[in-house]
């Protein structure tokens, strides 16, 4: 059973930083692809960053160089967000795809059918 719970959102000024946490209950065997998505009001959900068991990461071009995705054995998935811009605001979701066999994010992870989602955490960036 995979369970995800995000935290760490908040309201910040442009240029500041936030670190989002996704507490992830994932079986200690098999493999996974996990990702951060965001959705702003009136906009479609978009993928932000992904990470899989092999350590392969991808980033949306809009966040490359500013955001970093990583995980630890807590187990948790993190999104370090630096130099935030107003357009980074929105509800941020953690998502996971887990398999007892092999799964990887690949080069287009945001098109995968993620089976597990957290409840989201709100990020607001003011100019």
Bridge partners, residue 99, by sequence: 31
For residue 89, pLDDT over 90 is answered with yes
Please count the other Cβ atoms lying within 10 Å of the Cβ belonging to residue 26.
20
For residue 13, pLDDT over 90 is answered with yes
CB 44 within 8 A of CB 55: no
**Closest to 48 (Cα-Cα) out of 30, 61, 65:** 61
Taking only the tens place, the pLDDT of each residue in 28-74 is 888 999 999 999 999 999 999 999 999 999 999 999 999 999 998 77
> In the chain, what percentage of residues exceed pLDDT 90?
83
Size of the chain, expressed as the number of residues it contains: 127
How many Å apart are CA 8 and CA 10, to the nearest integer?
7
């Amino acid at each position: 059973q995979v369970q995800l719970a995000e935290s760490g959102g908040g309201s910040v000024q442009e240029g500041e930083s936030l670190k989002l946490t996704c507490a992830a209950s994932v079986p200690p065997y098999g493999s996974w692809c996990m990702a951060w998505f965001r959705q702003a009001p009136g906009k479609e959900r978009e993928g932000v960053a992904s990470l899989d068991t092999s350590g392969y990461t991808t980033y949306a071009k809009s966040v490359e160089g500013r955001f970093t995705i990583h995980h630890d054995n807590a187990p948790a998935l993190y999104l370090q967000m630096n130099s935030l811009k107003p357009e980074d605001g929105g509800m941020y979701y953690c998502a996971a795809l887990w398999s007892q066999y092999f799964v990887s994010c690949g080069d287009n992870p945001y098109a995968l059918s993620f089976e597990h989602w957290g409840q989201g955490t709100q990020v607001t960036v003011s100019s």
